[in-house]
Each structure stands twice: as structure tokens, then as C-alpha cells.
Structure 1
């Protein structure tokens, strides 16, 4: 029993597109994007994954939920889009200056979306300010943040139906399709349970992400798949294939949110039943 307690993680959804029905009475703010605090009980560690799109929303919800920036040990950015990095200025101001910010170097690339018209959706901070800061740790490979907590690093793309689309960047002064190489996820290792994989948006593909985590760790058992699955604008064939492949992985828990989309989330609930638990702003999850 003691060993089980030592490996427990608590996740708190700080920012998501909607407020949890169970938390509507405490005044939380919802905003398109994602931010999650992951707390490990032993050894005690607290990781902030992504920052939502608004410093004000992040600050307000952290305070409302009783969470302290002083207790954050590391910050992890899943990718460089504004709805995951928009609160970064508040994080840099409120956290200890020795707290590292871990990300793929391509988060610094200019990022655009083409629909309905071309618009900037990248980091809200100046690249020069970020590059001059000693707090940022840029890595293409996996980073061990703490015992039982690591990043995926750059995710191998093997699933044929999972292709980034609709995103652009600039290379050599020319607009090119952004392959979203900066897209990463967080891996929690739960001994006796398996892996918990937390995706920000899964632009690399949620199945690519899960399989990469399995290959990286050498652990096949997946306890939980959590976060944005980026199925909102996907074809029926892609949604069906994703659910089928995820069912083969057979996770104990599936927790979609954010860019997964309402209809794909309902499909996941139909497929996984009580094992599927969509998460929203204010929700907590113990694994």
C-alpha cells in the first residue's frame, strides 16, 4: 500500500475550453487552450504543462483553485501555439527564476494558421527575449524532468492517417507547411499500472504519440491517455481509425479535452464507456 501511495499523481486542469459542471459555482474562467498542473506525491514534484492563451485567465484560475506558482518545479510547453503559450509571461514573472522551461527548439518558429485567412498563432513573446533567458531548456530529444516524469521529445511519425495540416511557418523567407516537429507530450510512469501520456494538442497524432511513448520507455502497458487529441476537424475515417487503434492499446482511462472536439469525444465515450472521462477547467484527476 505504501508503494502505491508513493507513485500517485494528481492532475488539475487549470485552463480548458469549458468549465467543469462540478466547478461552475466557484467562478473559474474557460478559454480556448490548455494548461495542466501535474503533482507527484513522492518524490514531491509539481510540473506546469502549458499555460493557456491568457496570462489573466491563468493567474485567476491558479489562485481560485488554490495553487501556488512558488511550488512549480518545472514548466513544460507541448508546442508553440498561442493557446498553449499565451500565459507564459505570467509564469516567468510568478515562478522562481531557477525553474526551467522545457520545450522543443521549433517552438520559436513563426507559426500561422491559414483558415479562414492567414493569421499568426505563435508564441506571444519576442524570440530575442526567450533566447537571452537562461531559464529555457530546448531539446529535440526526451528530457527526464523528474523521477517517473519525462517528455517524449520529437515524436516519430508512423501512422499514415495522422498528418499535420492547415499550419504554416516561415523557412528561408518562404511560407511552408509546418510539420509541427515541436509537438511533444508528457509521459508519467506509474509502476504496476503503466504509462500515463498527456498530450497538449497531439499535432503529431495521438496514436503516433502513444506508440512513441511505448517505444521510448520500453513499457507497453498504457494506463491513461489524456489531453487534446486534435480530432475536431478530422475526417470520419480518421476518427474511426484513431478509436480502433486506441482500443487495441486498451488503456484503462481515456480523458479527452480541448481540440479533441465534441463529436469525437462522444465517439470516444461510446467506444470506451466508463473508461472515458472528458476533462474540463477545474477538474482534478488522480492516477
Structure 2
């Protein structure tokens, strides 16, 4: 059984892709096998729909849309989904949130990171717990982190992006783990996926790893972890950043217009 991944939107355009394909900060992937088709994130606007049409990719008959978390560059395209679309995500995905600057121990909002999206017209499946989508696809649910990193404010509280989850595919060669931004930390994410599936082997890590401004110490720890984990493929894009990719072993950089097939 083969897994196919089509990059509908990413920060960069693939070298062989059409010039008409839009490139924006964000992520949208179409992931499918013989029985299941999942849209993972929608990017910031209608660009994923535009690019899918240009790529000859049909978005009809999706099994589900999965939203990794509630930042605008991952869920901003929801208004362009058809009514009654099945959407799987964390209950906090629609909460208002801001980037913030800490001054003298107080958080000051500087940029809104969420959008006012009408989720009521869709078939929403909110869950903090893992959810089996099909025989091979699993939504991770909420990822526990002992010492989470703050990324702004949600309402009047610190935003640790607790709503971030990942999509897991159970391949014959091990877990395929697809991340949106990796705010919860790639090490925590992998360990969570191993725990809920009972499978240690990781075949592929795909998506944003949020390492673009990580410290050398953090990057060295991630590199050591990945060298011990020995995934067959590391495919880092979106917010991983050029700086982060420098530290990742044998990294591949998916871009808008790319297609990958995993046997």
C-alpha cells in the first residue's frame, strides 16, 4: 500500500513547479493512500485551492481535513472548504491568540495569530485524545510536554500551543509523522506518537519543525535524537528554516508543487 503526499502550499516553490503556483508562508498537504484522502492544514487563504487546480489535484471526496493548530497560516483556508466538511482538530483551535513581547514580566500583544473563522458550518470533530481516522491514519490528539515553550498569549493566558497535534500514518516500514509547525518540539512529538501507537520505528518525519531560530544547544540535541532514531526520511519544510535544516541529517526540503510517494 502506497502513501502519496502532494505539497499544495509551502514557503518555497519546487524547482520543477509551474510559475503560476502560489507560494506563501504556511502549509497545506494532501496525504492519501488507496482508501483515505486527508487534507492536512489549509495554509493562510485560498492558495491551496488555487494550487490544487493548477496541479490537477482533486479535493473532492476528502475523508477529512485535519488542522494541526489554530495559527492563521495553517487554518486560514478553512473558509474555502465546502460546507459540511469533516474537520478534525483540538478543541482550542478557534481560540483568539497573539504573538507577544515580554516586558518587565508582562506580556504585550504585538500581532494577532488567529482568524475569526466560522467553524459552525462544518462537521467538527474536536478531540484532545488520539483519534483513529482510518485503518492507517491517526490524529495524535494533544501532545503532553513537561516544559512547554511559550509562543504568545491565548485570551489572557500564556499560549503554549496546546492545540497542536500531528497526523500519523502506519506504514509497513514504520510511522510516518506529519507535523504542522512542531511547536511542541519534535522530540516530544515523536515520543508521543511512539507511545500512542506502540511502534518505535519511524519511517519518515515530514513538515515544519520550528527550528528557524532555535539555539545551537537545542539544535544539537535534536540532531543527536534524530541520529539515534534513524528515520529513513527527514523532510523538513515551512518553519524549520534554513538555519534549522543545517543541523538535520540528510534532510529533504519539500516545496510547493512537489509530490512524494512512500511505498
SS at match of 1:114: strand
Q: Provide the C-alpha distance between the structure 2 equivalents of 1:195 and 1:237, rounded to a whole number of angstroms.
A: 27
TM-score by length of 1: 0.85
1:69 aligns with 2:35: no
Residue 3 of structure 1 corresponds to none
* 1:66 positional shift: 1.0
Q: Which consecutive unaligned segments of at least 5 residues does structure 1 have?
A: 1-6
Q: Provide the C-alpha distance between the structure 2 equivalents of 1:285 and 1:124, rounded to a whole number of angstroms.
A: 33
* 1:213 positional shift: 0.3
Q: Provide the C-alpha distance between the structure 2 equivalents of 1:139 and 1:103, rounded to a whole number of angstroms.
A: 6
Residue 141 of structure 1 corresponds to 129
* 1:18 positional shift: 0.8
SS at match of 1:58: helix
* 1:117 positional shift: 5.8
Higher alpha-carbon deviation: 134-143 or 28-37: 134-143
Q: Which consecutive unaligned segments of at least 5 residues does structure 2 have?
A: 102-107
Correspondence list, 1:187-266, <5 A: 187-191=168-172, 193-266=173-246
1:48 maps to which of 39, 44, 48:
39
**What is the CA deviation profile of residues 227-283 of structure 1, one whole-angstrom value per residue up to 9, with x for unaligned ones?**
000011211111111111121111000000000011111221xxx23xx21111111
Q: Provide the C-alpha distance between the structure 2 equivalents of 1:197 and 1:9, rounded to a whole number of angstroms.
A: 12
Q: Provide the C-alpha distance between the structure 1 equivalents of 2:231 and 2:55, rounded to a whole number of angstroms.
A: 29
* 1:178 positional shift: 0.5
Correspondence list, 1:85-104, <5 A: 85-93=75-83, 97=84, 99-104=85-90
**What is the CA deviation profile of residues 67-95 of structure 1, one whole-angstrom value per residue up to 9, with x for unaligned ones?**
112132210000000000111100135xx
2:152 maps to which of 157, 162, 167:
167
Q: What RMSD, in angstroms, separates the aligned Cα atoms of the two structures?
A: 1.6
SS at match of 1:70: coil
Q: Provide the C-alpha distance between the structure 2 equivalents of 1:149 and 1:91, rounded to a whole number of angstroms.
A: 21
Q: Provide the C-alpha distance between the structure 1 equivalents of 2:228 and 2:246, rounded to a whole number of angstroms.
A: 19
Q: Provide the C-alpha distance between the structure 2 equivalents of 1:62 and 1:213, rounded to a whole number of angstroms.
A: 29
Equivalent residue pairs, number: 256
* 1:284 positional shift: 1.1
**What is the CA deviation profile of residues 123-176 of structure 1, one whole-angstrom value per residue up to 9, with x for unaligned ones?**
341xxx42x445111000011111100011111214x6xx32332111xxxx22
Give structure 1 regions of 4+ aligned residues with deviation exceeding 4 angstroms: none
Structure 1 residues 71 and 26 mapped into 2: Cα distance closer, same or farther (>3 Å)? farther
- Give yes or no for contact 1:15–1:282 (8 Å, CA) kept in 2: yes
Q: Provide the C-alpha distance between the structure 1 equivalents of 2:7 and 2:140, rounded to a whole number of angstroms.
A: 21
Q: Provide the C-alpha distance between the structure 1 equivalents of 2:55 and 2:33, rounded to a whole number of angstroms.
A: 17
